[in-house]
């Protein structure tokens, strides 16, 4: 008597299986669509003509892409720039213009982060690139913009011509891209209007600049500034105009007066006086031209210029060190919220962190539960590595590196003991988090900070990217795995690095 009930159950089971078979493709599509997203930088990547550049790209969430197909394409033409599949490069279809110029950087491919290095950048490389990921069941892409820029020569500034109570100052510079901004300034900071439109001449794709300024009864130091708007850098030259240029009476006026009274003065004497004044005027102009060519001449000015040159040389040396660091740029991302402090919110692209309401998160022995800290996804056991962080107007932040093992004690030792190499801003004061702390003196408040790690040399250096000055260099001996460290009371964002290789 149980056979009818058994048959009914079997029929229901068959019906359920048939329904699941019909709707399973629908669920597979939903799951595939939720597999991953491809994230590129939110700002254009800047490259310097003739140098190398790194285009970053990564997956969210941070899953491994080792067994995916990864392609870099020129977005407009859709041609292959570089392709990776089955664990190796597959460049048989690579466009000829990029052969031998691309390197696929897969150091952090297990975290879903890949980058493309392009060497010997030219004008034709500028434009959008597509970063394309494809798994067995799903594909996604992101666009990365590349801009090319060149910083031209230091402007040459000189007096083009001068007459009574009026001079013309000429400023010239070569080798800019794109077309730069040009401004004149007085020593009091006032902007000055050029005498005519700035002339630009394009040669081999680069812009040459020529601009002039008329000055009447005005003296002092004036400067010519030429600025690359993409690199946000400028070069300037200055010249000092002495008051003596405007403190003389025209010899021509004297000669004219003598002619007008010629009816009174004997003709021979008049000619002698006129010749005398004309010769004196010519000699004065020659002397003034020599003075201008040899400015500055006084000892005080020479001393000031020497001191300025010494400061500029030191600043240039630091900037060259910073540019060397940029050649070791890595694509750093933040770890997922599993280890971040409960009050820190990590963005979807894992590039920024901000403070929000305390989240009700499950217990995790690796979580930073004492201080507002989060680590980078990448870990370092050798080599040189550089990344940049936008700090903006944050009133509190801590940046640097720490031992990976510190996560196992709730992160407290990142502030209280050994195993960290970090700089802190707190209550408008900058210092190292060492024992004792070392106060840091800055020329200007940084809007962004660069961090450079040289593992073998045992050095961690932090730079103020406003003026490319060095904040501090830590020295130690590294024997454990290190990770980037971030902490703030507002928002921090990891930004792309402009390549200076």
DSSP per-residue letters across 112-139: TEEEEEE-S--GGG-EEEEEEEE-SS-E
Q: What proportion of the chain, given as a percentage, has pLDDT over 90?
A: 39
pLDDT grade for 457, boundaries at 50, 70 and 90: very high
What pLDDT, on the 0 to 100 scale, is given for residue 168? Answer: 81
DSSP-assigned letter for residue 376: B
Query: Comparing 24 with 492, which gets the higher pLDDT?
Result: 492
Domain boundary among 216, 246, 276: 246
The two tokens of residue 177 are: 């891209």
Residue 120 predicted with pLDDT over 80: yes
Q: Are residues 74 and 183 in the same domain?
A: no
Residue 307, in any domain of the structure: no
Residue 197 lies in a domain: yes
Instruction: Identify the residue with better confidence: 162 or 178.
Output: 178
Closest to 450 in 3D by CA, of 362, 395, 388, 371? 388
Does a structural domain hold residue 315?
A: no
Domain shared by 125 and 213, yes or no: no
At residue 12, the pLDDT reads 45
- The reply to whether 167 and 86 lie within a common domain is no
Last residue of a domain, one of 97, 123, 149: 149
Res. 21: pLDDT tops 60: no
Alpha-carbon Rg of the chain, whole angstroms? 33
The mean pLDDT value of the chain amounts to: 78
d(CA 273, CA 255): 8
- Look at the chain and report how many structural domains it folds into: 3
Q: How confident is the model at residue 422 (pLDDT cuts 50, 70, 90)?
A: very high
């Amino acid at each position: 008597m149980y056979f009818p009930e058994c048959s009914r159950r079997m029929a229901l089971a068959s019906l359920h299986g048939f329904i699941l078979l019909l709707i399973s493709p629908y669920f597979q599509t939903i799951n595939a669509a939720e597999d991953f997203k491809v994230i590129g930088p939110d700002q254009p990547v800047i490259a310097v003509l003739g140098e190398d550049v790194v285009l970053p790209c990564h997956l969210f969430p941070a899953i491994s892409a080792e067994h995916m197909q990864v392609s870099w394409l020129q977005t407009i033409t859709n041609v292959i720039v570089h392709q990776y599949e089955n664990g190796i490069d597959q460049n048989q279809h690579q466009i000829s213009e990029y052969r031998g110029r691309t390197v696929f950087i897969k150091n952090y491919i297990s975290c879903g982060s890949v980058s493309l290095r392009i060497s010997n950048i030219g004008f034709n490389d500028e434009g959008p690139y597509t970063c394309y990921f494809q798994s067995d069941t799903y594909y996604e892409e992101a666009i990365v913009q590349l801009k090319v820029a060149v910083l031209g020569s230091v402007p040459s500034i000189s007096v083009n011509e001068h007459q009574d109570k009026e001079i013309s100052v000429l400023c010239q510079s070569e080798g800019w891209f794109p077309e730069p901004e040009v401004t004149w300034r007085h020593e009091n900071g006032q902007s000055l209007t050029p005498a005519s439109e700035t002339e630009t001449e394009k040669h081999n794709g680069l812009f040459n600049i020529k601009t002039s300024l008329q000055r009447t009864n005005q003296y002092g130091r004036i400067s010519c500034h030429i600025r690359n708007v993409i690199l946000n850098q400028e070069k300037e030259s200055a010249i000092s105009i002495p008051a003596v240029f405007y403190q003389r009476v025209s010899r021509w006026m004297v000669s004219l007066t003598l002619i007008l009274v010629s009816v009174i003065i004997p003709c021979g004497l008049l000619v002698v006086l006129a010749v005398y004044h004309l010769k004196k005027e010519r000699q004065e102009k020659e002397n003034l031209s020599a003075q201008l060519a040899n400015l500055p001449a006084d000892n005080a000015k020479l001393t000031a210029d020497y001191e300025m040159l010494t400061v500029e040389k030191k600043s240039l040396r630091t900037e060259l060190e910073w540019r060397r660091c940029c050649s070791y740029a890595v694509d750093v991302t933040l770890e997922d919220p599993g280890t971040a402090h409960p009050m820190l919110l990590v963005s979807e692209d894992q590039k920024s962190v901000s403070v929000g309401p305390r989240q009700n998160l499950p217990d995790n022995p690796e979580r930073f539960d004492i201080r507002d800290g989060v680590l980078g996804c990448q870990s370092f056991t050798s080599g040189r590595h550089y990344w940049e962080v936008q700090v903006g107007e944050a009133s509190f932040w801590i940046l640097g590196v720490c031992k990976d093992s510190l996560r196992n004690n709730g992160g407290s030792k990142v502030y209280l003991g050994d195993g960290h190499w970090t700089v802190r801003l707190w209550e408008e004061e900058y210092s190292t988090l060492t024992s004792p702390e070392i106060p840091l003196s800055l020329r200007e408040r940084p809007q962004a900070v660069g961090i450079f790690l040289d593992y073998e040399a045992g050095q961690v250096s932090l730079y103020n990217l406003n003026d490319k000055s060095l904040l501090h260099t830590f020295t130690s001996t590294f024997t454990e795995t290190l990770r980037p460290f971030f902490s703030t009371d507002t928002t921090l964002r990891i930004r792309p690095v402009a390549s200076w290789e």
